Amino acid sequence: MGFIVIYELMTPQKRLSIHSRLMIYGTLFLLILGTLALLLFERNASSLGSGLNRITSAFFQAATTRTAGFNSIDLNEMSHASHVFMMINMVIGAGPGSTAGGIRFTTFILLLTGLFAVLQGRDSTRLLGRTLDVEHLLRASGILILTLALLTGICILLLALESEQDPLVVIFEVVSALGTVGLSLGLTGDLQIASKLLIICVMLIGKVSPVLLFTALASRPERPIRYAGGRIALG
């Protein structure tokens, strides 16, 4: 959830900030959703074990894909649906100020609120009884676009280098590296030297985080010029 949330929870507060409340509610929601999703995707498989162990294994894997990167089961025995769902969790990541990677959970929520605002015909985004600046939504969109561009470019390059490997396994490796998760489907040891060096670079980029990278690229002072408005067609 990040050091910001931990600090507020350990410090006497009349009311938690909107950020802390969002992270607490959101983390609980993603943990429950992730557990149920993995139980659904692995309903006909024995990869999660049996009995109560199925629930604990699903819960652990739902949490670890956004944080630690440990696995208590053999990931190769899980379905492709579970692998894709885990990659989505890796891209989302954890909270700002944490040691995890990804675009950050708050970025993901901002994008969702922006989508709901568009569907409802509103010109502003709302969250937990607060109106959010358009600047937040623009930054969230920029972070997502930069992350997807990095993932796409790196995946294409690694797929070209490892053309004999399963594409899903290769993409899983890249997403895990960029999200600094550490999970693998066993491909790491079989990669070529060039591919291993590429994965190392991806890990370093993920450690810096796409959020900080976008902030560094976007931190140029804006010129005090406002251009005339215009409209373009969409869809």
Whether the pLDDT of residue 8 is over 80: the answer is: no
Q: Render the burial of 86-118: b for 16+ CB within 10 Å, e for the rest.
A: bbebbbbbbbbbbebbbbbbbbbbbbebbeebe
- Return d(Cα 221, Cα 4) in angstroms, integer: 27
Average pLDDT over residues 71-88: 88
pLDDT at 114: 83
pTM of the full predicted structure? 0.80
CB 143 within 8 A of CB 214: yes
pLDDT digits (tens, 9 = 90+) for 85-117: 999 988 888 777 777 778 888 888 888 888 888
Indicate whether 233 pLDDT > 70.
no
Question: Stretch 161-188: mean pLDDT, rounded?
Answer: 87
Quick: pLDDT tens for 23-37.
Answer: 888 888 888 998 999
- Which of 235, 203, 2 has its CA nearest to residue 118? 235
Long-range interactions of 150-154: CB distance < 8 A, separation 24+: 150/178, 150/205, 150/210, 151/91, 151/175, 151/178, 154/178, 154/198, 154/202
The residue ranking higher by pLDDT, 90 or 1, is 90
Closest to 30 (Cα-Cα) out of 42, 38, 41: 38
Average pLDDT over residues 31-49: 85
